Structure 1
Amino acid sequence: MLLLLLLANITACKKVEVGYLSENLRYGSNPISVDRGVFKLNTGIIPDNSTPPFKVTLVNVRNKTTGMREESFFKESPITTWKERYNPVTDTTLALINAKRTTENSLPLLVLEKSGQLVFTQATESVPAGEYLLDLEIENSSGKKRYDGITTIKMNNPVTFEHINAPYFILVNPSNGNSVRYPHDVDWFDVTKQQSGSIKFNITRNANGPNQIILKVYDKNGELFPGRALERRPSGNTFLNTMSTFAYKTTVTDTAVIYDYAQARFPDLYWDSQTNGILSYYRIYDQWIENVDYVDSWNPPNSVTYKTDPKPYILQIRFGLKFNLPGTYICEMHLRAKKKAGMQ
């Protein structure tokens, strides 16, 4: 028995040979999940006692179903890269932003030679959604080995934009500034329709357009408010955030408010940790409002019915949107309120 214990102890203490290259090199995640068009840096290979330094080379990326090479991984596309770190607080003009960034051609997947880290660039937008097998060649001082299907890459269609809360408005009596509340005025009842008890959104994206959010506001009958009707919401001696807070340029037109932004995600991650996060607050004053609707019966998603309060109110609006991919977004916000006739 003692002899067996001594032998086991000697075996356990045996050093791995210098130049050892394990058959079991791997990644910590399998599959590795990636959103198309979104930058991602994955951790490197787990060496399983193999001796560094390594030289890791991409051999192939194959469709998991067909086994065929996926050519889109090996075609370059133009992407925007930053030469210096973007600062959403100080980089407030297009000139300052352009001085920090450039456009270059890039492959969707880059493999870092020494660590095997996988860099998925914005060029993955050209890769079809699906699952792919990653084939690598890894070399160290003992030689080289090929690792076919070392992990699976799961390429997902991204969520291009997200609501972080239920969009809504509450009413403010213009004569005294008091809030007027109705049941369910802040309740979310249908995420797929982007609709709450008082606001409905319709958002479309043009991937090839400039980085802009074009916000259009409609009444319940489809009448369009001019951009100037959407004003900042006061808070003491200052104002709460609007999308202007997060954009480097805001343009008010007769039909919309246009927000130019530097990069996706917009608003920048910086704002997540700030007061009120990425929530946007607006007012439409009573001079624009003929009347408003409020929920009468509440049985979502089967039925929701409304009654009309005939008085004009100030609309106090809040919503939280984040946009995960670059491009132009048309954001149409429909309010359960009627625009006053003759107001342009």
Structure 2
Amino acid sequence: MKIPQYIGLVLLAGLVTNSCQKVTPGYLSQQIRYTDNPIQIARGIVTETNPVDADGSSAPVTYELLDVRDSATGKHADAIYANHQRYVFISQFDPAIDSTIELLNSVRKLVNEPCFDFNVHTGAFTFYSTTDSVPLGTYTYDVKATNESGSRIYKDVGRFTLYDGLPYENDGAACAWFQDGTTTSGDIATPQMKIERLSTNGYRVILKVEDQNGTPFKPSNNEYIERGDRSSFRTFARFHPLTVTDTALICDFELTPFPIIQGAQGYTIYYRIPGNIARIDPGITPAGTRTYSVNPRFTFRLWQGGTYLVTIHLPKVTRDPI
């Protein structure tokens, strides 16, 4: 037998032998971790965290939350696991279609569960609005990971901190004048938008637009009107019609955040106050006539339920119907 042929037969025999050996199980890292640690969670606001970093562990990996403890005491966090009532969706929710209470209730149900869910496939948490019933502080948790190579427990693998954040987002306001019958326009002084949470009860927002003296314009008298090509407060009133009073527009909402959907201009609300209702201070418009409308716009979102008062204060503008 020639030597090259002999060597080839030896290599082939080795390959056959190796192919019969059991394949080594997958890899499960000792360094599985949460990169955003500690995770910051604003109480009362729905928050989904980032998934765990599996550090190259062989997929699929499943995760089990073993315990959550109060970091200050080291004791099991009973408050985290306590049940509270909240809604969960039981089928697909489309805010553009499910725009009545009847349709909304057909895709959700009331449950009595802890303030969080833990995703066994990603290791991520989802915290719900019922965290507003959980004490402030930092909590430590343990996780078990399992894949084809077995299981490993990660003690004190991560922490999350519950803190009180603002229950709303104030993105500011602006105001422009337009000359009647033209596209000629300019800026009026920047309005002040004040958001007050009057109560933690209910799901209501009260919108008031007032002049520089604090006098409210009367929506019941159409003293500020919608602009046909722009979103208005009514655009975002999905489940209940607006209530119109002499001093405010009132919207009862059902879901947070509010607004839950965007309009053509995002979440911005636009209105127009006709020139026969509002007088603009001298020196702002080209002429001192009442042929200029006042056009405020403003953007806000509410992250938690409650009763809110949103006040738009317009400087350089006086309510003066003629």
TM-score (norm 2): 0.76
**What CA distance in whole angstroms lies between the structure 2 residues aligned with 1:207 and 1:102?**
25
**What CA distance in whole angstroms lies between the structure 2 residues aligned with 1:170 and 1:29?**
43
- Residue 98 of structure 1: how far off its partner (Å): 2.2
- Residue 158 of structure 1: how far off its partner (Å): 3.2
| 1:137/1:89 CA distance change after superposition, 3 Å | closer
| 1:110/1:240 CA distance change after superposition, 3 Å | closer
Superposition RMSD on alpha carbons, in Å?
3.3
**What CA distance in whole angstroms lies between the structure 2 residues aligned with 1:178 and 1:332?**
28
**What CA distance in whole angstroms lies between the structure 1 residues aligned with 2:302 and 2:24?**
49
- Tell me the secondary structure at the aligned position of residue 240 of structure 1: coil
Contact 1:207 1:326 in 2 (8 A): no
User: Which aligned pairs between 1:1-344 and structure 2 lie closer than 5 A?
Assistant: 17=25, 22-42=29-49, 43-44=51-52, 46=54, 49=57, 54=62, 56-63=64-71, 65-113=72-120, 115-138=122-145, 145-164=152-171, 166-174=172-180, 176-177=181-182, 179-181=184-186, 185=188, 197-206=189-198, 208-228=200-220, 229-234=223-228, 239-248=229-238, 249-268=241-260, 270-271=261-262, 275-289=264-278, 291-293=279-281, 311-312=289-290, 313-336=292-315, 337-340=317-320
**What CA distance in whole angstroms lies between the structure 2 residues aligned with 1:253 and 1:47?**
59
| 1:51/1:247 CA distance change after superposition, 3 Å | closer
Identity over aligned pairs, percent: 26
- Tell me the secondary structure at the aligned position of residue 232 of structure 1: coil
Aligned residues, how many? 293
**What CA distance in whole angstroms lies between the structure 2 residues aligned with 1:206 and 1:98?**
27
Contact 1:97 1:262 in 2 (8 A): no
Contact 2:282 2:288 in 1 (8 A): no
**What CA distance in whole angstroms lies between the structure 2 residues aligned with 1:280 and 1:90?**
21
**What CA distance in whole angstroms lies between the structure 1 residues aligned with 2:73 and 2:121?**
30
Contact 2:29 2:54 in 1 (8 A): no
- More displaced stretch, 140-149 vs 251-260: 140-149
**What CA distance in whole angstroms lies between the structure 1 residues aligned with 2:283 and 2:132?**
42
| 1:119/1:171 CA distance change after superposition, 3 Å | closer
- More displaced stretch, 222-231 vs 108-117: 108-117
- Tell me the secondary structure at the aligned position of residue 90 of structure 1: coil
Structure 1 letter corresponding to 2:232: T
- Residue 162 of structure 1: how far off its partner (Å): 2.0
**What CA distance in whole angstroms lies between the structure 1 residues aligned with 2:150 and 2:265?**
56
- Residue 283 of structure 1: how far off its partner (Å): 0.8
Q: Which runs of 5+ in 2 are unaligned?
A: 1-21
- Residue 73 of structure 1: how far off its partner (Å): 0.9
Contact 1:59 1:137 in 2 (8 A): no
**What CA distance in whole angstroms lies between the structure 2 residues aligned with 1:52 and 1:90?**
37
TM-score (norm 1): 0.72
- Tell me the secondary structure at the aligned position of residue 265 of structure 2: coil
- More displaced stretch, 244-253 vs 259-268: 259-268
Q: Which has the higher strand share?
A: 1
Structure 1 letter corresponding to 2:67: V
- Residue 66 of structure 1: how far off its partner (Å): 4.9
- Tell me the secondary structure at the aligned position of residue 106 of structure 2: helix
**What CA distance in whole angstroms lies between the structure 2 residues aligned with 1:129 and 1:293?**
49
- Residue 232 of structure 1: how far off its partner (Å): 0.4
